[in-house]
Amino acid sequence: MFGGLCFMVNDKMCVGVEKERLMVRIDPAKYDEVIEMEGCKPMDFTGKIMKGFVFVDVYALNTKKNLEFWVKLALEYNKIAKPSKKRK
């Protein structure tokens, strides 16, 4: 989808790696809160901002604690996220 490596959980996109940044699927309700965090940028891969996804720059993932924060955020949303419709 975005030209990188994607990790699926429960048949749903969860996190991925694209160039030097982490793609994180988050709860769209938390978007405005997390977009203000250091290294976090809107995912505008298609030219349109995707509110349920963000990119996190590698420098903001410089500790295990920082990386765990983003992965945990993605896993929390994964529990309630709806899977994409499968193509026939």
* Model confidence at 39: pLDDT above 60: yes
Domains of the chain, by residue range, sit at: 5-78
The answer to whether the CB of 24 falls within 8 A of the CB of 18 is no
In this predicted model, what pLDDT tens digit does every residue of 9-33 receive, in sequence order?
Answer: 998 999 999 888 999 999 999 999 9
Both tokens of residue 5?
């490596």
How many degrees, rounded to 5, is the angle at CA 57 between CA 52 and CA 62? 120
CA distances from 40 to 24, 59, 85, 87 (A): 10, 10, 28, 31
Distance CA 82, CA 40 (A): 23
What pLDDT, on the 0 to 100 scale, is given for residue 87?
65
What pLDDT, on the 0 to 100 scale, is given for residue 58?
95
Give the up-direction half-sphere exposure of residue 41: CA atoms within 13 A in the CB hemisphere: 15
Q: So what's the architecture of 5-78 in CATH?
A: Alpha-Beta Complex (3.90)
Question: Which residue is it, tokens 């992965």?
Answer: 71
